[in-house]
Structure 1
Amino acid sequence: MIRIVLYEDNTQLREGLSMLINGFDKFAVAGAFRNCNNVKEEIRELKPDVVLMDIDMPGTNGIEGLKLIREVDNQVKVLMLTVFDDNKNVFEAIRSGADGYLLKKTPPSKLLEYIQDVFDGGAPMTSSIARQVLQMFSGQPVSNREEDNYNLSDREKEVLQLLVNGYSYKMIAAEMYISIDTVRSHIKKIYEKLHVNSKSEAVAKAFKDRII
């Protein structure tokens, strides 16, 4: 059972998403809120596997809420679900530790697939968002530090390359003949060495600094 917490200020949409998600045996909505005013306490208490996060909400908005979540939980998957597809919000969400970024026009069936994907270690993005991410980082200057690989081991570089290739945790484990727990351990070390908080941010940094 994948436990999900929703942050969405539109009551009709929040209730609709809750009904959709609860309609499937493998998913359960642990909580649904109109803003992130008490997000730290809610995440600690409810211990969700995945958070669906709107951006434009009264009180504490989604970007600030995401930052607060990362202060108390670095493992929960946070999937932004919003109407905003501008560079500023996309970049800020990724920089703050979002694991995926979807537009609200995403069909319900695809949304459920994306929730499963992010839970399995993927980094789902609406195609238009993915193009923006690539464009944003393709024009970034390369790090001035020559041969700077952030002291990644060969094994960690291999895992990072598979992340860049879009592999989920399960796929990496199968490809490298290691357990998912070992994959998680490698990825935790990669995040620490790259000073990032999410898969999407790690992939972006790999592109930007040509680490692999």
Structure 2
Amino acid sequence: MSVVMNTSDPTPPNRPEDEAAAGAQNDSRRVTVMIVEDDDGTREAVARWIEATEDFQLLGHFADPRAALKRIIKEQPDVVLADVNMPGLSGIELVGRAKPACPETQFVMLTIYGDTDHIFQALTAGASGYLLKSTLREELTAAVREVMHGGSPMTSDVARKVVQSFHPQEQPAQQEYTLSDREKTVLDRLAMGFLYKEIAAELGVSVTTVSTYVRRIYVKLQVRSRAQAVAKVMIKK
């Protein structure tokens, strides 16, 4: 799908072919990134942004999600930026297949779809972040850094929908779990992509205390990750 972003940067990627590998050797001090996007203009624009960022290393950018899946599993990048709607294999399916083989890789969806169904499906598949294609360059690079520090970056409109999904305006249906008010607040902030230290600062507690709340939330929801916790609450609405 085409992107709604400024692609006027005249500097081309170092290697413009679909399966371009940027840089000769992996540098453990830099965040390694792969891009999976079938629209040429979008893919090349995002590739330029990543290559122009000093602490990032672009391992490859792909138009074919099936080819990308093989490379992702083989090279285990730190972060994968993936479109949702692609021919042959959707970005959500790609995440679902790659995540079990790449548990340390963080997947961030970059898409035009901001509806709760796509958000929920992506989070359930294993995505850690969800950005709309209206995202600016600075926001995208900040999101890559955030996801590497345990965050769940989301475009503000997406984060608002996630929060609203477990604060319905009408009488909520009976749920199988009960979260305390403080746990709900922590889950709110997790859904908005806050780091543990940011939640701790807002609530006036220690990071250890926040970790305790998160563990309780995971136990009550019977999940193992932030994304699964948010997704489970969304499906219960």
Normalising by the residue count of structure 2, what TM-score does the alignment of the two structures yield? Answer: 0.68
Task: Note closer, same or farther for the CA distance 1:94–1:176 as it changes in structure 2 (3 Å cut).
Answer: same
Q: Distance in 1 between matches of 2:221 and 2:103?
A: 15
Gaps of at least 5 residues in structure 2 are: 1-29
Deviation sequence 1:113-139 (CA, Å, 0-9, x none): 111111111111111111211222334
Q: Distance in 2 between matches of 1:104 and 1:161?
A: 24
Could you tell me which residue of structure 1 aligns to residue 138 of structure 2? 109
Worse-superposed segment, 34-43 or 106-115: 34-43
User: What does 1:48-59 correspond to in 2, within 5 Å?
Assistant: 48-59=77-88
Worse-superposed segment, 111-120 or 187-196: 187-196
Could you tell me which residue of structure 1 aligns to residue 10 of structure 2? none
2:176 aligned with 1:144: yes
Could you tell me which residue of structure 2 aligns to residue 10 of structure 1? 39
Could you tell me which residue of structure 2 aligns to residue 43 of structure 1? 72
SS of 1:138's partner is coil
Gaps of at least 5 residues in structure 1 are: 150-155
Q: Distance in 2 between matches of 1:197 and 1:103?
A: 26
> What is the CA distance between 1:28 and its match in structure 2?
1.0
Give the RMSD, CA atoms, in angstroms. Answer: 3.6
Q: Count residues in correspondence.
A: 199
Give the conservation status (yes or no) of the 8 Å contact 1:97–1:198.
Answer: no
User: What does 1:42-191 correspond to in 2, within 5 Å?
Assistant: 42-139=71-168, 141-144=173-176, 163=190, 166-168=193-195, 176=206
Could you tell me which residue of structure 2 aligns to residue 153 of structure 1? none
Choose between structure 1 and 2: higher helix proportion. 1
Could you tell me which residue of structure 1 aligns to residue 229 of structure 2? 202
Give percent identity, aligned residues only. Answer: 35
Normalising by the residue count of structure 1, what TM-score does the alignment of the two structures yield? Answer: 0.75
Deviation sequence 1:84-113 (CA, Å, 0-9, x none): 112221121122221111111111111111
